[in-house]
Every structure is written in structure tokens, then in C-alpha cells.
Structure 1
Amino acid sequence: MSESVAPLPKGLEKSLLRFYEYLRSEKGLSLHTQRNYKQQLETMAQHLAQMGLKDWTQVDAAWVRQLASKGMREGMKASSLSTRLSSLRSFFDFLVLRGELSANPAKGVSAPRKQRPLPKNLDVDEVGQLLEVDDDDPLAIRDRAIMELMYGAGLRLAELVSIDVRDVHLRSGEIRVIGKGDKERKVPFSGQAKEWVERWLKVRPSLLKGDDPALFISKLGQRISHRNIQKRMAEWGQKQGVASHISPHKLRHSFATHVLESSNNLRAVQELLGHENISTTQIYTHLDFQHLAQAYDQAHPRAKKKGNNG
């Protein structure tokens, strides 16, 4: 048996009934879509009635935000909340069209963006296991150089693919990369990454056919493709017995996490990753506010607590 719902105030109900008729007769929407609209709008109308509203003209942007907050508190997914607010916007557009409202109060209110799930990073032991590739085959040397560079410099896949030989400066330990929005940056690389890029440059001519300037080339002698790198990394993960699925993005994410854990320097990681906004770096590295607050309390001269007698 369904739970009984209190009848809506006439001022809320009348406009809804007119809107349902409009959806049926003028918009010609399917029964399924009509039912969805009805379900979303009746739920919101009930919430508003519980808050003491009796008429749609009383609803402003603040009330709409309250409805969104209520949905979030009830654990609604971002996509479901977005659908709910979209229904409300359509309904208010109808009321504006009929002259019952002067403006749509839901126009500027949006649901929180869906957060893309980030890949789990590899732990340091898993990275070590993956990179124990010791083979004289030119393709194996190339693949190890690619993986060492992705983990050692935190590059995006597109950045790595677009590197030319002339962009690599072994002496200074820098690589010029073109990031998102065609923004150029220099990234440092050293240690194993530098050593294996050097080894690859020695065997690269044996695969080169023509004069392709790309740092990393395929066995056909041309710039390697994104897909080829993804495929080869997944294969190396299996070959080296790593439990996690290996992908370029996972190596970049592991680089960010491990550097952050060692240095606690969020700004440096932001620069190394080529993030325009530090908020992206915070999300990317699973940094939470508590961690930042703790770092602030420990480091900032004005954050030190004074004694009770101060």
C-alpha cells in the first residue's frame, strides 16, 4: 500500500494540472515522460507545501536552492537531481509563457556536477613491479621509457604522444610539452625516466622509417598512437603480474599522489600536472579539506594557538 500524501494547496495544484494538460495536448509527450514530469513536480510541490508555500508566485531562487539541498541531503544522485531541476525549469517556463510568473526562478540554479570517478592509484610496490622490464628488444625499451616517463613526469597521454625528439633536453633534464588548450610547459625528468629515454633514443633509429620527428614511434616507424600505448601498457601490467589494470591515466594519477604524499606541496604538484586551477589538483589527488587545514595549522605563523593566558 502506498503512503497517503496530503492534498496540495489549490494555488500549487491548479497550475500543475494545467501544465500536465499542456504536456499531453500541445507537447504530445509520451505517457512515460508525462509520468516522470508529474512524479518530479508533485514531489517538489509537496516539499514546498511542507515549507508553508501556497502559491507558485512565492517561489524564488532561494526556495529552488532549498529544494536542491533537500534532494542532496536525501542522497539523490547528481543526475537525478539534475532531472528534477530540469522538470521544474520547464514548468516555470510554462508559467512565464502564460504570464503567471514574470521570470523563471529555477533558471540560474543547477545541480552539482557529476564527479568523474578517479582511477585508483598504484602503490609504490606495484609501480616497481610494473617497471621491472629488462629486455634488449627495441619495443620493450620504448615501452619502459614511455612508462617511466609517464610515472616520472606525470604526463597526460596526449602530451606524451605529441613530444618530438627536439623537445627532449637530456642535459638540463627537461621536456617541453604542449598541454590542454595548447599551453606549453616544461616538465623536469630525471633518474630512471631520463636513463630509459636515453636508452630508447639510442635504439630509436632501428625502427625509424623516414623522418618522423616523434620521440616515440611504433614498429611501423611512425608516431605511436594513443590506442597503441594504452594496449601495450595493459599488456605489460599482465605480463609483470600486477593485480591492477594499467593505464596511462593511472600512472599519471600515481605520480600525483606519490609526489603529494612525499612533499605535501600542492602548488608544486599543480604545476607539474599542468592544472590551471588548484581545485582540479585537490580533486585529482583526493585531498580533503581536513588535510589542508592540518597543513595550515602546522605551517602558518598566524595559525599557532596562543596560550589561555595570552
Structure 2
Amino acid sequence: MISPLQPAVDAFLRYLKVERQLSPLTLKSYTHQLSALIVLADEMQIRDWATLEPAQVRSLAARSRRADLQPASLALRLSALRSFLDWQVSQGALKANPAKGIATPRAPRHLPKNIDVDEVNQLLDIDLNDPLAVRDRAMLEVMYGAGLRLSELVNMDCRHLDLTTGEVWVVGKGSKERRLPIGRMAVQWIEHWLVLRDVFAPQDDAVFLSSQGKRISVRNVQKRFAEWGVKQGVTSHIHPHKLRHSFATHMLESSGDLRAVQELLGHANLSTTQIYTHLDFQHLASVYDAAHPRAKRGKS
């Protein structure tokens, strides 16, 4: 039996897909979280979103917590609920969002680990005895050379490359576009790969292909990077995000320019870059106090 709460959620998901044009991965997350909430709401005898009250939202959160949902996942669930109820308000189905003001549990923030420059060089010293090794070397060079997200690497098309200027055009989170320098070594290995790319009978404009000529998958990239880490004798597990973080860390160590690193990574907020680069707020505050005209204190 279909829950009476389901049709409104289905309409919301259609809105996210058609009008907001969210990515399939984001839609999958919304679907999962809202479906779980419907199950819990049915258990609480909630039959209409219009009757939902703040106390019931807290009960939904408490039931999720008792089901061993971790803080980060619980925060994601409440965020999905808030977005859905905001949309309900915009459609006139609700007068106010009952999830507004409900505290979200604070998840512990774990600093991602990077690998040092020597380990990067060790990883990239690949024995290029087959076309796929050339492809993998090119992917590794681009990931470390530009600090891309994995999705940005996989979705890169040949038309996005300007190897004359050494730049690549990517679409990041929130469909935000940016042009990035990718570095001399990355350009060199992309050129090597493009010479071999036609051997795989490309089925579209994707830069990086699988052995079947299709756009390489996220899972394939993760698997190949991990395998190269083992083959090259790197002590830590190699995955795409670790190369992105290593790029950010090494760039900041060399330049000290947090804003530039923020732009290169495509972060909307400086606080996100601050976490990636192991900076603490006290350091940022001291830089601000020393540099900003409105922060400087006159001598007494």
C-alpha cells in the first residue's frame, strides 16, 4: 500500500530533476532520505505533511538516531526534509516549515590525509608498457596537477581542453564552471594519451575512456588508482580525493595564498578550504587582524 505521504515527495523529486536539474547522485540521496522519513512518519501515524509539527520532526530525528544513523547522515536526512518542506511552503501546501529551527547534530570533521611530494613522485613513476598505463598516468597527473574532483575528471571532454595554454574547463558542484591550469606534466601526459585514445574506438567526446571505448566510470578510476598505489609501493591507500587534498596542501605550503587555493578547488566557502589545508581559525583571524584596515587597532 502506497503511503499518502508519497505523492508529494514524488512531485518534489520531479521538480528537483526537471527544474533544478540536480545530478543523478544528488537525486538518489534525496530519494533515499525522504523514503526513509516516509517509513518513520507512517509508523508515527502521520498521514498528511500539512499536519506535521516541530515536535514530530524532533521525533523523526530521534527515531533516526535510535536506528544508529550517524550524525552526518542524520544531518543529511534533516536537510532533505527541510528542503522538501520549504518546497511545500512555496507550493502553498504548508504555511510554515516545521523543520526550521530544529537543531542538526554536529558531525566530527575528520581532516583528509595527503601524501608528501616524494610519495607523489613515487606514485607517478609508472612503467608505461601499455596504453591503459599511459591513460592512468595522465589521469593521475591531471588529478594532482589541477586538484580536480573525481566527477570533474570523469566528465571531462576533449572540447574542455586547451593544451596550448595548459588549461581545462570543468563544471563543479552546483553547476559552477571554472577554468584551471593543469600544469606542464599533466599537459604532456594528456598529449601522450590522446595519441593512443583512438585505439579504443571512442564512443563519445570523453577524454578518458575504458577499455571498451566508453567514458571511464568513477568506480574504475578508484580501482585503478588504488592498484597503482599498491604497485608503486606507496604506503598509504591511494584514492582520487587524496590526490586532490595533496594538491591543495602542497599548493598552500608553497604559495601561502589561501584564496587562490580556494578558487582552484572550486570551494564556495573559505571555511571548506581551511579544513582541507589544516589551517585553524585562529591563524586566519590573526592574518585578518594584521591586514584588514577595519581590523587594525590604533596605537594608544
Q: TM-score, normalised by structure 2?
A: 0.63
What is the aligned-residue identity percentage?
62
Question: 1:253: how far off?
Answer: 0.8
Q: Please show how residues 10-49 of structure 1 align to structure 2 within 5 Å.
A: none
SS in 1 for 2:178: strand
Kindly indicate whether residue 136 of structure 2 is the aligned counterpart of residue 143 of structure 1.
yes
Question: 1:285: how far off?
Answer: 2.1
**1:163 partner amino acid:** M
SS in 2 for 1:177: strand
Question: Whole-Å Cα distance in 2 between the matches of residues 126 and 144 of structure 1?
Answer: 15
SS in 1 for 2:206: coil
Question: 1:231: how far off?
Answer: 0.4
Equivalent of residue 220 in structure 1, options 209, 212, 215: 212
Query: CA offsets, 1:181-215, max 9 Å, x none?
Result: 22221111122111111111111112x22542100
How many residues of Structure 1 are paired with residues of Structure 2 in the alignment? 213
Equivalent of residue 205 in structure 1, options 173, 179, 198: 198
SS in 1 for 2:170: strand
**Counterpart in 2 of 1:268?**
260
Kindly indicate whether residue 149 of structure 2 is the aligned counterpart of residue 156 of structure 1.
yes
**Counterpart in 1 of 2:269?**
277
SS in 1 for 2:254: helix
**1:122 partner amino acid:** I
Q: Which moved more, 1:112-121 or 1:259-268?
A: 112-121
Q: Please show how residues 216-295 of structure 1 align to structure 2 within 5 Å.
A: 216-295=208-287
SS in 2 for 1:186: strand
Change (3 A) 1:154 1:209: same
**Counterpart in 1 of 2:33?**
none
Question: 1:290: how far off?
Answer: 2.6
CA RMSD of aligned residues (A): 3.0
**Counterpart in 1 of 2:170?**
177
Query: CA offsets, 1:6-46, max 9 Å, x none?
Result: xxxxxxxxxxxxxxxxxxxxx79xxxxxxxxxxxxxxxxxx
Question: 1:286: how far off?
Answer: 2.2
Question: Whole-Å Cα distance in 1 between the matches of residues 294 and 277 of structure 2?
Answer: 27
Question: Whole-Å Cα distance in 2 between the matches of residues 298 and 152 of structure 1?
Answer: 32
Change (3 A) 1:300 1:223: same
Question: Whole-Å Cα distance in 2 between the matches of residues 288 and 132 of structure 1?
Answer: 34
Kindly indicate whether residue 170 of structure 2 is the aligned counterpart of residue 196 of structure 1.
no
Change (3 A) 1:112 1:267: farther
Question: 1:111: how far off?
Answer: 4.4
Question: 1:115: how far off?
Answer: 3.5
SS in 2 for 1:176: strand
Kindly indicate whether residue 130 of structure 2 is the aligned counterpart of residue 113 of structure 1.
no
Structure 2 unaligned runs (5+)?
1-43, 46-69, 79-98
Question: Whole-Å Cα distance in 2 between the matches of residues 290 and 169 of structure 1?
Answer: 40
**Counterpart in 2 of 1:123?**
116
**2:237 partner amino acid:** H
**2:196 partner amino acid:** V
**Counterpart in 2 of 1:40?**
none
Structure 1 unaligned runs (5+)?
1-26, 29-77, 87-105
SS in 2 for 1:216: coil
Question: Whole-Å Cα distance in 1 between the matches of residues 290 and 241 of structure 2?
Answer: 32
Q: TM-score, normalised by structure 1?
A: 0.61
Query: CA offsets, 1:142-198, max 9 Å, x none?
Result: 101101100110000001000011111001111111111222211111221111111
SS in 2 for 1:187: strand
**2:231 partner amino acid:** K
Query: CA offsets, 1:212-271, max 9 Å, x none?
Result: 210000111111000000000000000000000000011001111111121121111111
Question: Whole-Å Cα distance in 2 between the matches of residues 234 and 151 of structure 1?
Answer: 15
Question: Post-superposition, which runs of at least 4 consecutive aligned residues in structure 1 deviate over 6 A?
Answer: 301-307
Question: Whole-Å Cα distance in 1 between the matches of residues 202 and 232 of structure 2?
Answer: 33
